[in-house]
Structure 1
């Protein structure tokens, strides 16, 4: 009997890319491009009819058949697709936006109805990372990325250090992407920003890598597990519990010789053999009278400004007259990536000159009133200015969304923001607006769009939440949403593999932990805390936080909380404690 030949498939070639829809594969030369399934489906629809305008509703119907989805999903996946194709201002674009009508694939496409594929190309790999698929293009950091890649091959701990908002996480994720497939046991990101207790660092790492451990000493169990593993761990946002992270990293490096660590922090970990890469602001031109648009765009800060401004306003382009103004704006913002992005989202409302004037007023207002390094004050001033320009409903939404400790879904966002004034339609519109204004980021996790508030923005929004006396109500809604999250996670445990389950639900651990802590410190919400604890028992077991689960159960069983427990609650809690 003849051996089966490799499958035959359509192929669409354009530029350096080849799309193989039946294999769910996009190749750039001989290298597969990392891209989400929905973004690939959008690309397939567009390349099937190059030159034709494809309406938004047709795209939604083709990519999400028989499913109602929010318009924001299309926008986020389109952004991810454009990033995968490496589209940039001034470069040859593959996808053109036809304002008010839809999208058009504008590059020549060569179509083949049957193409042989190498048998080892495009075979789905086992899930071996939890990195989100970025939806925006990285600007001006290639030299830093290349340098950190070299250092990470030579050293087992590399720390990316810099001011808040400068782009440390963006660079770390880009470096980590290069390591996918090179480490036998995967690449795993550990978001440490929500943690307040340094002793929980080993628990956060265990959850991220999918460690199953039933131990009261998680660091000991973690070290033993990693001893024979080869992987890259990305520790993101270390500065607020740096001593706990440093001691954990030191133990891992000593006991697990094939594990590497890439960390982001505002200061170094000060661990033996650590390599420190300080990330400066994006490059800006020195003050000069002669600066045209072409020259200005060679500077990364201005390139980022134009890139994000074009995302906001399709018709935006940098003129020779505006080039010196853009340079002045980027200099005033110290080359801070987040500050530049926030300013760029307002080009539809202000000219560049007016942006400089408005931001200049805010800088003068804050001068001398807030401590910290200059770049920190610059970023605070920019967030302040951006917040004041929001509508009242956008401000309310931003404050309430600060209750989330990590990533959150659109449904969860609606659950804690909707009230008598804000219905679901308005909530969705304003979430999309906050993403467009760079106050929220949208990420692709698996096939789901998830949202996140950057650390600096969240800290700012939490201050506003307290100032408006809304903290308790937002926390209560957040805790109620966490109950729904753990119920959904418990149901999914029966139909997903453990690796798939952890990628989808593991990042919610910090939110559940924070909701429990708040409920038991609020006298009026103890009953909610007991309910959340009971509901979260299967979740705690699934993420192997046995010691945390035991402590939570003992707290819920305290005699003072007895009036808030049912007989069923007592049974579940005591059975868990006994186990």
Structure 2
């Protein structure tokens, strides 16, 4: 309750009237500037009286020294000593410490300010007292509720519509609602808004009590009574509070209960039991845990998870971004969002986990220093010291102050657990906590109890999705805990980070030993990437353990390959290979690292000699170890490597060796992989009959479940088999069957959530659509392929996407554009040694050059491609190359040469079983005769 707001008191004084206020044996007459005790006037100085008035107008609230000095000395600059002097005099006048030391009126919050903690009672208005009057009039019955003391609401409470609707609908029917959430999430703002919206429903009988600056929990009941305007004459303030509720509805708002939780819980439960018409709404960082309590957990504001895919308007619709914009505009009225700055704001809100207080602090910072600078500062080092509103509670003026408030309430063991949890990046499980935070001084049971308490106090966030079983630290809490952990000394920090690395080594090794397919569940592994990276960084770092680093690198290879994080895979594999001990050469450790390095280099950087060298070394090690299953996997990788560089003799040799190994294993999945390699090899050399036979065998031996496991090789073999078979069907004159298979293959690739496999499937789809003249479908697929390749840094596939863009431009009649796109794509593919599609794009380039009249250049491109195909054994495109060469000859007027080339093309197509090529040749011959 606000007793005598400043404007009202001033008005009373101007009329010579005053609202009397009583506390204990004292009475204040504001209009007369008179203080009486037992109806006898006391001598009090003007400054002391102003101090007293400032304090009793807002009983229970801590007023800062700045506020008091501004009130008492509005036009004079004074030192803190003047305030302390007059405060000491006021306390002496009130007799604090007398009567056996029981009387207490003014509490000191060290370093902050002062609060009036005795209950204050309003006694109504009266005419000015004569100077000689000393008789205190009889007091009317105190009025409870009347004018509420709820602080003013925010002009616009953002992103809390659902919470407001739920609570407003239910508060009237629930005795006690506790709004629970971490520091800075916006609990107080929500409760203030609820109070204002419900006051009328409670006929104005509502009281707000802020415990944030209360140091002594024993003063909780007197503080509630004081806020309600109740004069407590007995030793049981709770009884007096209950007596004044009566039978009418009453709304009691208790803010910031966490540091006085026991006393707040006791009186709340007593009110719930004894006053059924009272409704309590409390805020705390943990539930009160009393009978009748309902808990509403307040989550962070919604913010975008995928910034790049959303439009500006979609981003601005998120509450977190709206809050940032509103606060920044309040800090600088000229502030506007320019260009792509909204994406930077979204990234800031992501980093701040959608938490209201840090977003407000960052917005104020951005209004002064700019959005880009603020985003950069947050990215480099999370700042806990940025300042907010001067008028905010001291605990909310910086993030550090906010977290200090929570940290100081923790037990010693809870502090240790919180600090050690800072080594986790992202989510962590209970098992992870127990392995990482415990040591000889902190046991499992103690750590588990501390974990429960930290979750209850909202310092760690539990994933409330059913079956998740994980926790995480908000970024600001993690930054704070990391500082505290570092302050404990290097030994504790190093021991904790080592246990963290050991935990993830053990987890990944155990998963791999139990079932190799378990490592292929991208959805389960993706959230742990931050922890795996952090453990690798530390292990390879100056304070790390190189032996542990190599183990962790080996264990994490399948993770990076499965998620197509090939740049990271290459980096960690390279570092681990360089750190191998001589005794580790020729072992499974080197085998895994070399095989992973080879596939990562091949897909992310092109088919460099280094990639071939790594894969060859891995095969040598597997052969030496007589590890047939590993040999098969590496043969599959070498097969695609030689296919990419255009060495079809070695491709066929890999396939033949793979069949021998698979037959020795006598395993359906192994046979499926081996027949897939053989079918693809036959397709490339131009034998569509044998290709179809082996590819259909491969699909017979595989299933979708088995296919998902083959992602361990860096791509999915079932998917790759279906892609090759779709192309064979298309060339064999079954276009509709080819299209259906290609569509199903893309769907399966998307379901695998594996970017490399997805790109391969999209390339197949594009190829068939363009062959069949489905240009609209190809145009829809192209941006998906480009985005997938660019997002996952798959350099060869980025160049492939550009080649398809050129081929599509050719088919749509944009010939000059097609020439430029195809030439650029071919150059990039040659540099990456990715020759798998260069013949196709050379064909398109020759057609485009012919269309723009550059016949000599077109002939040169085709002749070079034919010579290369004859040299490497790439027979698949030979008939089409001859057909295009015939078209160039026809355009130059050499019709006889063109017909001879068409005859040769038809014979080649017929021998390969490529009906589609044969039909194209027939159509061209018919056109020439016309």
Common fold: TM-score over 0.5:
no
TM-score, reference length from structure 2: 0.27
Asked which structure has the greater CA Rg, the reply is 2
- The structure where strand makes up a greater share of residues is 1
TM-score, reference length from structure 1: 0.43
- The structure where helix makes up a greater share of residues is 2
